Structure 1
Amino acid sequence: MKPRKYKLTFAAKILIMQFILCSIAVFAGFTFRAYAEGKKWDNVVYPGISIANIDLSGKTKEEGIALVKSKYVDELYKKKIEIQALDKVYIVEGSKLISNYDIDSAVNSAFNYGKNLGVLKKGRLIRKGAEREFRVSFNYNEAYIKEFVASIAGEINKSPTNATVEKMPDGSIKVVDAIDGYKIENEKLESSIKKVVCESVNDTAIKAPIQELHAAVTKEVLSTIDYNIASFHTDYLSSSPERSQNIELAARFINGRCLLPGEVFSFNDIVGERTKERGFKEAGVIVGNKVESGYGGGICQVSSTLYNAVLKTGLKPVERTHHTLPSTYVDLGLDATVDWNDIDFKFENTFNYPLFIEANTKNKVLYINLYSNSSLAKRKYVITNNIYKTIQSTTKVVDDPNLPIGQVEDVQKGHDGYMVRVIRNVVENGIVVNSEIISDDFYNPVTGVTKVGIKQ
């Protein structure tokens, strides 16, 4: 069955035509109104557009710049940021944190937003509002922020203090608990300051990020230390002020050191390089067969005093070297020389308990006390040095044509040579239960040199 064909009457065609023309007229009118409305906003910011929460609707560029500057940027410059660090408070003004800013670009972006849209889209944006936020770009005063944070860190940062041992007047041992330290996290604080300075114009308080530093040696670690297991002292009464300062400085470096079971003590690592910048002075140093001037002269007395105290604990040195010439402050075979980056004095704590080193000076006497557990006191250690051979020095006489005849000049002092064996006896209940050779040292003899004048 064929579908029917309907023919529009003339009247229907007229109605359709009228409807189309009416629609065109309505659309044209709507478009015209939208165009006309849009023209009103050509030179101002569209509705709903803001910068830093400041509504710029209907504002010209110039008005927008002035408004953002007065209500935002100028207020940021007056803004105060309070930084809380532990029990201290630091205040800084925004004017010191901001080096420059760019309002123009932000206002231009706000002004141009939507201007490239078609007529109808512009009309819709104007009617409903853009709801668009722009931000002013800032450059921070990086150097000042770093300097400001560093100044806070300088006051807050504090290294932890290890637990220490004190000998009480009655001879008992007191363990003083450790003190934790603090460290400002500089980069995090710098970022926090930058973040809040431009967030709002209101004064702001932030908490500085602080890392708590725990001491490596705590009271619990030292709780087993209750006894002075060994002591030794030497004097430096005849030393120069420079040599005395070196001894006292080196003693301060090793004082308070705690050696846990299995740890090795290195004199060079603890005392460090002997330089003028670190407080060491020039004084006499044994170099080969003579005494010369060098930074840190005298600190071998500290290493030797410590060596003698260590021998009395029963511990054995890991590394120890004697001088080329005999020392005046300890007996032969009982010295321990050191030289930065060359010769070290080392010993290992082979006990099951921590070993605490106390080194102090008083009236030009160096005292070293070693503390550990009282169970180690059951044994006593007696140190003897056996000089089993002495090699007499000789003197070489040299004619000198530059000296008047008969005049004598000593160029180098001669020194006898020695062969020394150091023995340690282990005593329990008054009985020697063991004997061991600690070292067998040879001090080379030094030939003296004397010049005799032969000049006529």
Structure 2
Amino acid sequence: MCFVQTVTSKNSSIILFLIIIMIFSSISMIAANTTFMVTDGIYQGVTVGDIHVGGLSVTQAEQKIIAEFRERTAKAPITAVYQNQKWTITAQEIELGIEADKLAQQAYDVGRNGNIVHRLKERYLAVNKGHSLPLTAHYNHDRVHAILLDITRSIDRQPQNARLRLTGNSFNVEIVPETIGRRVDLTKTIAGISENLNTSLMFTLNISVEELIPPVVASDFAHIDGLIASYTTQFDLWDQNRTQNVLLAAKSTNGILVRTGEVFSFNNIVGLRLAKFGYKEAPGYINGVLVPDWGGGVCQVSSTIYNAALLADLSIEERTAHFRPPGYVPIGQDATVADNQLDFRFKNTLSQNIYITTEVFGNQLIVNIFGKRMDNLPEIYVVATDKKVFEPNTIIKQDTNLELGKEIVEVEGQKGFQVSTYRIKKVDGKIANKEFLASDEFKPVDKVVRVGTKIPPQQSKK
């Protein structure tokens, strides 16, 4: 019984002690807040951005904010930085300003709005932990955008693919590394200005820049060490329109990496052969008739690549012969193309990546394919067999408007051909494989002759 009384007595003492502490704490808090209530200045701990205005009147705070603004913006308040480059942006350039009277009033209102609990809480936190108001500086957004756009032009850089080039006159190659591109993120950079101006009138802005990795990098050439196939055709430089088309298509197909297992599509790489892309009208076959056509001559580029791909032992996925055999490749070794209709495609079936260059030197169009040179590779030939020649017929048309006995050749006849092509692989001089490629037939074009049947009127006798 005595034990219970002792414990109860101790508990009572603890409770009494806690009550005393709470009373003194409440008295201290009430006293402190009573002090807050009687002050006519901004509560201690209040800042506008990084400008301390605690203890000042509204007028004094406004004057201090104005003075600080003028001092800090006398020099360029913003320093934009990217790597080792720096650009200064002045307050005048962007029409930077603040509404000091509103900011001072906002500072004064801290701890004076809301119910009593809210006011006491704001006062207590301001004194003990600080209360910062944003500067909310205003500026000309269009000028900021224009200034950053100028900065962007000196930073932005287009990515460039890694490429191969021949060393000297040999068939060895060296790698020219890629160029990493750069692009300024204007939206993010402008947002950084707005965010910084909420807290400080002088700051360094790190320009947000995104790196642009090109599609082809040096590591893509890790297993490419030399030339594995090459093919050359010639064209007439005097035909300026056709030459222009050949040059454009050659440029599009120059420096193309085809990874192992990928399919090369001529149409996808070259794109539409339209006037707006620089292509000219030049002779080409449409429905069997030789007429001016946009992009005429581009088929020479596809045919040259076709022959180089055959010699590189690549798999031909799509190839179509011309209506008439062109003169720049042997019969049966051409590959015609047409926008949205006929494509030339091959697949890289080798175990390593390949790299294609298509270049023009004088009147020569040269396609080189680089890859991994292997020992004891077979020699590859393309041969045409089972050749047949079809003589054209001659069609006579009587022309009543043409004088009797006169003849005019309306259509020059052309011979027709039939040919089968094979890819031959030889090892140690012996045929190891004979691969059928295609059987092409070029129909003859009949010769058309107009013969006059008109009898001339007899001359009148004198």
Range of TM-score over shorter length: 0.7 to 0.9
Please list the CA deviations of residues 91-148 of structure 1 after superposition, one character each: whole Å capped at 9, or x if unmatched. 3334445677655543443344444579999999999976533223345655454554
Structure 1 unaligned spans of 5+: 1-29
* Larger displacement relative to structure 2 (319-328 or 443-452): 443-452
Where does 1:323-342 land on structure 2 (aligned, <5 Å)? 323-342=322-341
Deviation of residue 264 (structure 1)? 1.2
Q: Which amino acid counterpart does residue 224 of structure 1 have in structure 2?
A: H
Query: In the TM superposition, what are the counterparts of 1:181-260 in structure 2 within 5 Å?
Result: 181-186=180-185, 187-204=187-204, 206=206, 208-211=208-211, 213=213, 216-218=216-218, 220-260=219-259
Residue deviations 1:341-368, cap 9 Å, x none?
Answer: 2211111111112222122111121111
Relative to structure 1, is the Cα distance of residues 36 and 317 closer, same or farther in structure 2, using a 3 angstrom cutoff? Answer: closer
2:365 is the alignment partner of 1:366: yes
C-alpha separation in 1, matches of 2:380 and 2:121: 99
Residue aligning to 1:320: 319
Q: Is the 8 A contact 1:81 1:206 kept in 2?
A: no
1:82 to 79, 84, 89: 79
1:58-77, aligned counterparts within 5 Å? 58-60=56-58, 64-65=61-62, 67-72=64-69, 75-76=72-73
For 1:146 and 1:454, how far apart are their aligned partners in 2? 82
Q: What do the CA deviations read for 1:294-313 (whole angstroms, capped 9, x no partner)? A: 33221111110111111122
Aligned residue identity for 1:281: K
3-state SS in 2 of match to 1:336: coil
Deviation of residue 181 (structure 1)? 0.3
Distance 1:213 1:315, change over 3 A: closer
C-alpha contact (below 8 Å) 1:285/1:292 kept by paired residues: yes
Residue 424 of structure 2 aligns to a residue in which SS? strand
Give the deviation of 1:244 after TM superposition: 1.3
Query: What one-letter code is carried by the residue in structure 1 that aligns with 2:290?
Result: V
- Residue 371 of structure 1 aligns to which amino acid in structure 2? F
Letter in 1 for 2:68: K
Cα distance in 2 between the residues matched to 1:112 and 1:323: 86
Q: Deviations over 1:261-282 (max 9, x none)?
A: 2111111122222233433333
DSSP-derived class of the 1:442 partner: strand
Q: Equivalents in 2 of 1:124, 1:251: separation in Å?
A: 76
The aligned counterpart of 1:439 is: 438
User: Residues 173 and 226 of structure 1 are in contact (CA less than 8 Å); yes or no, is this contact kept in structure 2?
Assistant: yes
1:427–1:200 CA distance, 2 compared to 1 (3 A): same
Task: Give the aligned residue type for 2:355.
Answer: F
Q: Distance in 1 between matches of 2:422 and 2:116?
A: 106
Q: Secondary structure at the match of 1:437?
A: strand
Amino acid at match of 2:181: Y
Deviation at 1:164, TM superposition (A): 3.0
SS in structure 2 at match of 1:381: strand
Question: Does structure 2 conserve the Cα–Cα contact (< 8 Å) formed by 1:229 and 1:370?
Answer: yes
Q: Is the 8 A contact 2:111 2:123 kept in 1?
A: no
3-state DSSP class of the match of 1:230? Answer: strand
1:226-258 per-position Cα deviation (integer Å, ceiling 9, x unaligned) = 332221101113452222122122222222222
Aligned partner of 2:285: which letter? I
Q: CA deviation at 1:189?
A: 3.0
- 1:420 is aligned to 419
Are residues 1:53 and 2:53 paired?
Answer: no
Quick check: 275-284 or 140-149, which moved more?
Answer: 140-149
1:230–1:312: 8 Å Cα contact kept in structure 2?
yes
Return closer, same or farther for 1:171/1:116 CA change in 2, 3 Å cut-off: closer
- Distance in structure 2 (CA, Å) of the matches to 1:265 and 1:305: 14
For residues 347-366 of structure 1, what are the structure 2 equivalents within 5 Å? 347-366=346-365
Q: Map of 1:86-97 to 2, 5 A cutoff?
A: 86-97=83-94
Q: 1:454–1:181: structure 2 CA closer, same or farther, 3 Å change rule?
A: farther
Q: Give the whole-Å Cα distance in 2 for the aligned partners of 1:221 and 1:86.
A: 29
Between 179-188 and 111-120, report the one with greater CA deviation. 111-120
The answer (yes or no) to whether the contact 1:156–1:182 under 8 Å persists in 2 is: no
State TM-score, norm by structure 1: 0.77
Q: State the match for 2:274 in structure 1.
A: 275
Residue 380 of structure 1 aligns with which residue? Answer: 379
Partners of 1:267 and 1:312 lie apart in 2 by 18
Secondary structure, counterpart of 1:246 in structure 2:
helix
Letter in 2 for 1:245: Q
Q: 1:255/1:95 Cα in 2 relative to 1: closer, same or farther (>3 Å)?
A: same
- Contact preservation (8 Å) 1:235, 1:329: yes
Stretch of structure 1 that moved more, 68-77 or 262-271: 68-77
Counterpart amino acid of residue 297 in structure 2: G
Q: Any idea what SS the aligned residue of 2:86 has?
A: strand
In structure 1, give the amino acid aligned to 2:69. Y
Percent identity over the alignment is 24
2:202 counterpart SS class: coil
Distance 1:118 1:147 in 2: 47
Gaps of 5+ in 2: 1-29, 457-462
1:323-347 deviation line (CA, Å, top 9, x unaligned): 1122121121111111222211111
Alignment-derived partner of residue 22 in structure 2: none
Deviations along 1:418-447, one digit per CA (max 9) or x if unpaired, are 222112221111122222221111223334
Check 1:340–1:54 CA distance in 2 against 1; reply closer, same or farther (3 A cut).
Answer: same
**Root mean square deviation of aligned Cα:** 4.0
Whole-Å separation in 1 of the counterparts to 2:361 and 2:78: 51
Q: Helix, strand or coil for the counterpart of 1:305?
A: helix
Please give the alpha-carbon distance, in whole angstroms, between the structure 1 residues aligned to 2:322 and 2:226: 32
Alpha-carbon distance in 1 for matches of 2:225, 2:143: 51
Work out the CA distance in 1 between the residues paired with 2:391 and 2:314. Answer: 34
Is the 2:423–2:435 contact (alpha carbons within 8 Å) kept by the matching residues of 1? Answer: yes
The Cα offsets for residues 14-70 of structure 1, whole Å up to 9 and x where unpaired, read as xxxxxxxxxxxxxxxx99xx79984x83xx755554423334444346x65554344
Measured at CA, do residues 421 and 90 of structure 1 come closer, stay the same or move farther in structure 2, by a change above 3 Å? farther
